[in-house]
Structure 1
């Protein structure tokens, strides 16, 4: 130790420790070492079937129990990876796990006036040693009907599913007419929206299916 360093050390121990001295020598160094606050906004955790409900008393077998989590590793990309643990409701109580992933993308083409979306999801099963992958898309095309207060659009949603365990590949196309209108005014305490969907789906080797959905949403008008 040099004489200058020893002199500085003797000077420190000989001085009175006051709040002003602590602010000058300790607080400044402490402020430079801030702990990184963990962010869990890009994490999803869920559970299903852990608590027994009254409806399960009428079921012939017990329900499966599952817990899982998903994480979005990149903030700027809509890509999620996760895992899921499942315990079957049978007497054997077999426990299996899955590794899952999903990604989605949505873009507005203002020049064409349409909105295009693309999503994909898949999983790997540890018990059956296989994987499943699905890809789906959507295209929203606005069109005008002689209804002044309604917003209407046509949505086309193609999809494809690949199951490596059975070797089956499934495709389908769903077309929907979607309408939405607001029943309340801006001065009302509650906001009410009415949504109507009329769909028609086709797929190879299956009969076409038609669907209709009517939805009323009520929320505080903040």
Structure 2
């Protein structure tokens, strides 16, 4: 069953988040310094924090969103080029910090697993999704693999019921309902785990949790 990491080991969570967020911040700075893409990044929950979950004692995947704010030199619709560009720069950052190359999965760039030499030895890694907002809807960059690289598809996939998500999050925070989002998020993660449903990434579960809390309180 999933539980929030901070309920188990606050020091470990702080150190893990510090290491991983530092890598992501380095990537953001590197991308923005090249003036090809303009991006920002955040943990899933977009600054609301405390949505890191762990299934029993299994490794922890920290889910980050790399948000494309603007483009200058890359076509926003050229998803293959965007993902390859981000992947190459991410590998530069990882190498500079003693990490191995990331893996290109369907909906994220995933790092190798690491653990601290002292204290909690739980392994952790980073899953970095590339997303963008257009006309109040949120889209996630998907790499649909076919087994033949030249036939792979890259495209923007709209998050289900994501239109107006940013405004709903603002309303929830303003009305001090974020703990309800945390509860809904955890319940949904465990619901899909029990069902053996692996087609609900954190990006979608987060949207579902926000929508559930918003519409039940509005």
Aligning the two structures, in what range does the TM-score lie when normalised by the shorter sequence?
under 0.3
Kindly indicate which of the two structures has a greater share of residues assigned to helix.
Answer: 2
Kindly indicate which of the two structures has a greater share of residues assigned to strand.
Answer: 1
Tell me which of the two structures has the higher relative contact order, counting C-alpha pairs closer than 8 angstroms and 6 or more residues apart: 2
Structure number with larger C-alpha Rg:
1
TM-score in terms of structure 1 length: 0.26
